[in-house]
Amino acid sequence: MLQRVSRASVTVEGEVVGAIDEPGLLVLLGVTHDDGPEQVAWMARKIRDVRLLREERSVADAGAPVLVVSQFTLYGDARKGRRPTWSAAAPGEVSEPLYEAVCAALEEAGTRVERGVFGADMAVELVNDGPVTLLLES
C-alpha cells in the first residue's frame, strides 16, 4: 500500500528508526506465499515510477524519498468470526529477504529509502498529503 505523505516516521522502543520530512511515499509492504524475485522487481519499479505525487509526478521525477515499513497484517482476513487470520502472509524467513530486496532495488535505482525494523512493534506516524492511498498488487 502506498500513501502520499508530507512527512512520516517509524519509532521502535521510543527511538526514531526511519523518517522522511518532505513529500514522498510511505510504503506498507506485505508479502504473501507466492511472492518472489519477479514481484520484487515489479514492486520496486512501480513504487518508483507510479505518478502518485502532486502534479502527477513520480518518486523518480521528483527525487522524493520513500519510507518502507513491513506490514504482514495487510494479508489479514477477518471475513469469518471475530479473530483475523494471517495465513495468507508469508512467514518472516520468506518475507524479510523480499522486503530487504525491494528496499535494495529502490536504492539501486537512486531512490532515498528509509526503513522500519522488520518484525518489530513499530509506531508509524504520518501526515497524509491529499490524502492519497493506493493499493498495489503484482
Contact 36, 90 (CB under 8 A): no
Residue 72 is among the residues annotated as catalytic for this protein = yes
The one catalytic residue among 11, 72, 111, 118: 72
Residue 3 is among the residues annotated as catalytic for this protein = no
Nearest to 124 by CA among 52, 58, 70: 70
Q: Which three cell numbers stand for residue 43?
A: 514492486
The one catalytic residue among 71, 85, 111, 133: 71
Contact 67, 114 (CB under 8 A): yes
The one catalytic residue among 3, 11, 39, 73: 73
Residue 118 is among the residues annotated as catalytic for this protein = no
The answer for 26, left when phi > 0, alpha when psi is -120 to 50, beta otherwise, is: beta
Residue 6: which H helix or E strand, with range?
strand 2-12
Nearest to 29 by CA among 56, 3, 62: 3
Helix (H, G, I), strand (E, B) or coil at 92: helix
Active-site positions read 71-73
